[in-house]
Structure 1
Amino acid sequence: MPNDLINTDPLVSQNFFLEIDGSVVSILSSVSGLDIEMEVVTTEQAGANGKVQVVKTLGKANKAPDISLTRMAPPDMSQDKLWGWFNDIRDKGMKVSDRTGSRKNGSIVMYDSSNAEVARFNFTNGWPSKIATDQLSVESNDPVKETITLIVESLARVK
């Protein structure tokens, strides 16, 4: 009976947060790029009677995505942790010998309508490479949004 297969509600998230090193940095309005992907390597070789054989196998076990985070722009960027992190990297650069200085570990955390955590995506060695501000218009009453591109070296769903 098909109804026996559905014994839990689907994952519905009402709130998204960015955590860096265990503390909340920003509330988010949308997130994309939470792709958990393995790279596939394809090899072609000649088999018996010259017939081409295609073999597909696992390449990189964890292909790292770029994560796109959208949030309401903060009214005071000088007090904002994400802007501070971005500006430090832009102004000072990233030292090749210090992989932990500018790069940080964190999570995209999802909560349901009762504020219970329903999913968590952990990333390693992330850093913001871009902050894009939405188009501005005098004809709109919408809040200004920012889209942050977060470069990560690995991503895993842990909850």
Structure 2
Amino acid sequence: MPDRNSPYNAFNFTVAFGNGDIEGGFSEVSGLGTEITVAEYRNGSDKRNVVTKIPGMFKVTDITLKRGIINSDAVFQMFKDLQDGKVDDAKQTVTITLMDETGANAVQKWVLIDCFATKYTGPSLSAKGGGDVAMEELTLSPGDIQYEQVA
């Protein structure tokens, strides 16, 4: 039985790459999810005109990370490793941890296994912007996801 009745806020989280190359705080994580495809089957001799749904393949959705640009080429190195055929070097474990309101205690973790970068989107640049932060997006494709409730 949980000892908390209110949901956790979504603003307090960390993103950690397994090899430690990616630096800088991410401001947004989206796309965390899994899906099981469904195969529909109907036996030809079935008296009812109804399909049977059978669980199919399990897949993990792509994850998008957003952060302000910092002076680091680690994101581009992931793409270079893939381009050079170093797939094992490009794959990383990424841990996303939701923290409580104090920021001191982890409450849930999503561990993305065998992630590799599939898309990079650079910032929108404008000379008339006053205090806008230059943001970049990184899309990761994980091979598997593990969920861990910490608190």
TM-score (norm 2): 0.81
Aligned partner letter, 1:33: G
Larger helix fraction of residues? 1
Give me the whole-angstrom Cα distance separating, in 1, the residues matched to 2:121 and 2:36: 29
What does 1:135-154 align with in structure 2 at a 5 Å threshold?
Answer: 135-140=124-129, 141-154=131-144
Aligned to 2:97: 109
Say yes or no: does 1:77 pair with 2:72.
Answer: yes
Give me the whole-angstrom Cα distance separating, in 2, the residues matched to 1:7 and 1:131: 38
Moved over 6 A (4+): none
> Counterpart of 1:9 in 2: which secondary structure?
coil
Give me the whole-angstrom Cα distance separating, in 2, the residues matched to 1:30 and 1:126: 17
Counterpart pick for 2:41 among 43, 56, 59:
43
Give me the whole-angstrom Cα distance separating, in 2, the residues matched to 1:54 and 1:108: 39
Aligned to 1:64: 60
Give me the whole-angstrom Cα distance separating, in 2, the residues matched to 1:108 and 1:117: 10
Residue identity (%): 22
Aligned length: 144
Give me the whole-angstrom Cα distance separating, in 2, the residues matched to 1:59 and 1:43: 11
TM-score (norm 1): 0.77
Unaligned runs of 5+ in 2: none
Aligned to 1:120: 109
Deviates more, 1:118-127 or 1:24-33: 24-33
